[in-house]
Structure 1
Amino acid sequence: MAADAPLPLVGCDFSSSPSRRKPIVLAWGRQDPGRVLLERIETLDTLEAFAGWAAAPGHWLGGFDVPFGLPRELVEHLGWPREWRACIEHYARLSRSEIRDTFAAFCAVRPAGAKFAHRAFDKRAGSSPSMKWVNPPVAYMLHAAVPPLLRAGVHFPGLHEGDPRRVALEAYPGLLARELIGRRSYKNDDKAKHTPERLIARKDLVTALENGQTRLGLRLKLSNAQRDALAADGSGDRLDAVLCLVQAAWAQRQGAPRWGLPEALDPLEGWILTA
């Protein structure tokens, strides 16, 4: 790979409990002027496979549907380290049950409507608080995904200096999906809820991506087979990975060293691309 060649792009839809039925999905692509070309979809069935992929030699710029940080309010209340790497390393040493019990105790003494602590940009992005352990369990996603990326020496812009040829950015497919189809539901893990209405919503979302109907100024380039496969996946996992891929492509257009992240981001909480 030439030293000045753009990094390959990857969008990751992550699962904290991956399986063959619901794997971690990687959407690989590259950028042409004004277009994002989807090249292939890769799936990983275990957390060990994800850690192995993260540690493998390679070059990529990735958008990950995983929170990269915890709310500062929560961290300070718990007396955890306020430096990002130390905080993540402390968090990695906890079990999921310890995380659940600690966060549940934090929420229990707070008033209704303000149970969870939020990061500065959560409301702007419409994202779940990163301390939430159910529906969706994003706290467990952080616990499962970020420590192996950190151990692998990956670069987290604004948070931790690492390998500049493997760059990880926090993405959120829901932010881009809402821009294109509003609040329409387009996915569900329950096959019984794979309705015609959700299929139409996925098709509309794919069409909008292909037509470049976003503020990101990018059009998605798909083959007919890719288009059909994205629409057919009722779980939406492959489509979410592609949405993260498009957000990563936007970051690539903004360029290093910030990759589109604001100068004022909190170095403990991080930031969601395009928020």
Structure 2
Amino acid sequence: MSGPLLVGCDFSSTPTRRKPIVLALGHEQGGRVTLAGTQLLETLDAFGDWLAQPGEWVGGFDFPFGLPRELVEHLGWPTQWRACIEHYASLTRPRIRETFAAFCAARPAGAKFANRAFDRLAGSSPSMKWVNPPVAYMLHAALPRLLAAGVHIPGLQEGDSSRVALEAYPGLLAREVLARRSYKSDEKGKQTPERLIARKDLITALEHGQTRLGLRLKLTHAQRDALVADASGDRLDAVLCLMQAAWARRQGAPWYGLPATLDPLEGWIVSA
């Protein structure tokens, strides 16, 4: 296989054995992305250790890499990215929830949350959201570990250029194929035949290269069955992030497909 390892990460801010962080690992050659396997991490420390080990990879990670500039400026927090993340990491989750809830309470209905420049474009949740999904806590758990590992984050942090971390968002790619059809749920009662069919349709589209990324996913029969069977969608989300990482790697350094005009406080979702 050519080039560095590719990584797609479905992240949890409170990982457990039942709901681990999922890494999809693979390689790309000639527009074909081969899934080599998955790795499950049951603790945040295990995630930090994985990031820090030497290697060569380009990774797409499903958590926000920055907060909305509007929010940061309103709160008087540092507007330099690393200083902002370090300040944010120093806060407790209850303090974050209180601060963000107060910000939202002072705003009109329909505009409670501040958004990053690309959130509406990508259809992603505001990175200050602390419930459904709690992406604010995901940022709080993940970013300090990216900083500690010294990885390179294009547009945000110069680091070890052999380990390149990019913000990915599986929903961006899933919606391109499925529109508004849901393909996953953590709730047993919502793990319906319709969602199973949607997962099959999404995987088939990825295998046939039917997305604007122009890449085809290569799976074994066993891998395909495992992705279909995972009703939570966590493994499939990791694979969607893997596809975005493969696209970014094909775009190459220094920007990996990100716009050079991105806000250096907010960041950008790869392929958005």
Per the normalisation by structure 1, the TM-score is: 0.98
Distance 2:52 2:270 in 1: 23
Q: How does 1:113-128 map to 2 (within 5 A)?
A: 113-128=110-125
In structure 2, the residue matched to 1:155 is 152
In structure 2, the residue matched to 1:228 is 225
In structure 1, the residue matched to 2:161 is 164
Where 1:216 maps in the other structure, the secondary structure is coil
Among 1, 16, 21, which residue is 1:19 paired with?
Answer: 16
Among 100, 108, 114, which residue is 2:105 paired with?
Answer: 108
- For 2:113, the aligned partner's letter is F
Among 175, 194, 200, which residue is 2:191 paired with?
Answer: 194
Deviates more, 1:113-122 or 1:46-55: 46-55
- For 2:240, the aligned partner's letter is L
Among 135, 140, 143, which residue is 2:137 paired with?
Answer: 140
Distance 1:149 1:175 in 2: 23
Distance 1:212 1:121 in 2: 25
- For 1:84, the aligned partner's letter is W
Distance 1:51 1:251 in 2: 23
- For 1:93, the aligned partner's letter is S
Where 1:110 maps in the other structure, the secondary structure is coil
1:223-263 per-residue CA deviation (whole Å, 9 max, x = no partner) reads: 00000000000000000000000000000110001000001
Among 219, 224, 227, which residue is 2:216 paired with?
Answer: 219
The answer to whether structure 1 residue 262 and structure 2 residue 259 are counterparts is yes
Kindly state the Cα deviation for residue 266 of structure 1 after the two structures are TM-superposed: 0.2
In structure 2, the residue matched to 1:67 is 64
Distance 1:119 1:181 in 2: 24
Report the count of equivalent residues: 272
- For 2:251, the aligned partner's letter is Q
Q: Taking every aligned residue pair, what percent have the same amino acid on both sides?
A: 76
Kindly state the Cα deviation for residue 167 of structure 1 after the two structures are TM-superposed: 0.5
Where 2:34 maps in the other structure, the secondary structure is strand
Kindly state the Cα deviation for residue 192 of structure 1 after the two structures are TM-superposed: 2.1
Per the normalisation by structure 2, the TM-score is: 0.99
- For 1:163, the aligned partner's letter is D
- For 1:215, the aligned partner's letter is R
User: Runs of 4 or more off by more than 4 Å in structure 1?
Assistant: none
Distance 1:64 1:51 in 2: 13
Distance 2:160 2:250 in 1: 19
- Unaligned 5+ residue runs, structure 1? none
Among 175, 178, 185, which residue is 1:178 paired with?
Answer: 175
Where 2:145 maps in the other structure, the secondary structure is helix
Where 1:41 maps in the other structure, the secondary structure is strand
- For 1:23, the aligned partner's letter is P
